[in-house]
Structure 1
């Protein structure tokens, strides 16, 4: 039986844990607080399509209780991972794969990328300060994952699924490995869509297009995606950010299979939806500024590409986060770049 540990079984991590349990995997989770207590007492409850299912999975706040795994899925917010990398060690055997199910540019991005730039086989300081994940987990363990479902945790121990079932997977070097196929098959058996892509980075950038533009504007204004896209001035702002991001992505080999207007309209068509960054603001949780925005800025500086529109929005977003106590990076992006150079 395949052993899978979900480290951080919140909304997305919990959804993956329940789906993998349905598939027959030996699932364990690392969680904490009231969420952990509820799962230990009552099991992990998933509410999907009006139906409730409960899955009994091993759960602990201490990874040492769970042992070595075949796969470790990281369900934490990207900015929360570097400080706790050392806690992953008891879960990692010789061949354990690590699957970061996170938003933004992943820490492993330049492993096996072959961009022809000085970025190859390096990390970005804005998302992996000091190379904590690169050194502590190892990029050779990484399997890429682009996350699309929308879920939330209405109460401890309960995962509510709203929409979406796709988790696109890919190896950093684009190969179709046995471990990649096994993970894809498990997710599919659990009722999810899990396509394997040789060019996963293209899909990362298509999603990042929206994350780096719609997310900050929504976080700052409180507006849903459809409202942002329907406002001419905000739509123009989103367009200009996407132009800048496209230039950065293409400079490191990404291919954009849709136009900017198509991508903007795709977001605008989602009526009433506010992205996770705005939800974090409303709930008083730390915001994902660095993986969604600072990482793009860091790339731009390293590639000598100007991003005047993104820089203005990013400055406002960071100030909002600092004023609200939701963003506490001690280094700004320019210092991070210098530290990595």
Structure 2
């Protein structure tokens, strides 16, 4: 029998994870609200990919209040909100989680799970990340771009059994989505941040889409410098990479669509809440703690303040 999965955050990440688990027959509930929830209750979760769209009726869409009235205890909670929403959803997670529930963070930025543990003392929390290009495409609709969707997760908590971790990896590796139980999850988190975090600060400083980073110039040089600062931060943290992350990330960047923008950039331009702390301020603080001058991040912070 499948583990019970609850997905908190019904945007591009959470909706896509829920869709793939639902299509694979897993027991999955997607926590949502407002008109987005109403649309999914009426039509099911509509999952849109380049090959077309389909409804995923196996995904149960509920509000947090509705879920709590069911008095069910999830085995796994995937936290897929924006980092600035964690405080808002923490009370729900605290009430929903049982003694054996594992919360897996798929938040942006670095040290995200550390923030969650501070808000949820006594709840088991695993670090994680996801490689994905997806977005909410209207009420009840999730659009996934491309075919690269990969979850990494891991924890050193001795109270979380190896059997459970391996079961999660097995059940979340389904057609269209891969899950990897990492023996060094901090290394994987920093590897991803060197890619997307560096993209985010570069786009914020230069107010540009990915196209300008894909050709020689000041923007691409800045992106390379930003990656180098993350690598230096990792060295101070005892994290070493055998591969050249600058060349790796440039190769991935060059496969992007020129018109692509980052989520941080879009949020800043929209004038609403944004993940400034996760993408910019937290790396600066960590750099100060480790003795690394995060010059690119400081420049992004100044650009954001202006």
What is the Cα-based RMSD across aligned positions, in Å? 2.3
**1:1-341 alignment, distance < 5 Å:** 1-56=2-57, 57-62=60-65, 63-66=67-70, 67-108=72-113, 123=114, 128=115, 133-138=116-121, 141-163=124-146, 164-172=148-156, 177-189=162-174, 191-259=176-244, 260-272=246-258, 273-317=260-304, 319-320=305-306
Q: TM-score, normalised by structure 1?
A: 0.79
Aligned counterparts of 2:139 and 2:188: Cα–Cα separation in 1: 32
Are the counterparts in 2 of residues 69 and 92 from structure 1 also a CA contact under 8 Å?
A: yes
Distance 1:281 1:75, change over 3 A: same
Cα distance in 2 for partners of 1:50, 1:98 equals: 32
1:14 CA drift (Å): 0.7
Does the CA-based 8 Å contact 1:43-1:157 persist in structure 2?
A: yes
- 1:265 Cα offset (Å): 3.7
Q: Distance in 2 between matches of 1:158 and 1:76?
A: 16
Aligned CA distance change for structure 1 residues 74 and 217 (closer, same or farther; 3 Å): same
Whole-angstrom distance in 2 between the partners of 1:105 and 1:139: 21
Count residues in correspondence. Answer: 297
Distance 1:283 1:173, change over 3 A: same
Structure 1 residues 65 and 40, CA gap change in structure 2 (3 angstroms): farther
3-state SS, counterpart of residue 213 of structure 1 = helix
Q: Report if aligned partners of 1:211, 1:292 keep a CA contact under 8 Å in 2.
A: no
Please identify, of 43-52 and 174-183, the stretch whose mean Cα deviation from structure 2 is larger. 174-183
Residue 214 of structure 1 and its aligned partner are, at CA, apart by: 1.5
Preserved contact between residue 5 and residue 78 of structure 2 (Cα < 8 Å): yes
Q: CA deviation at 1:227?
A: 1.4
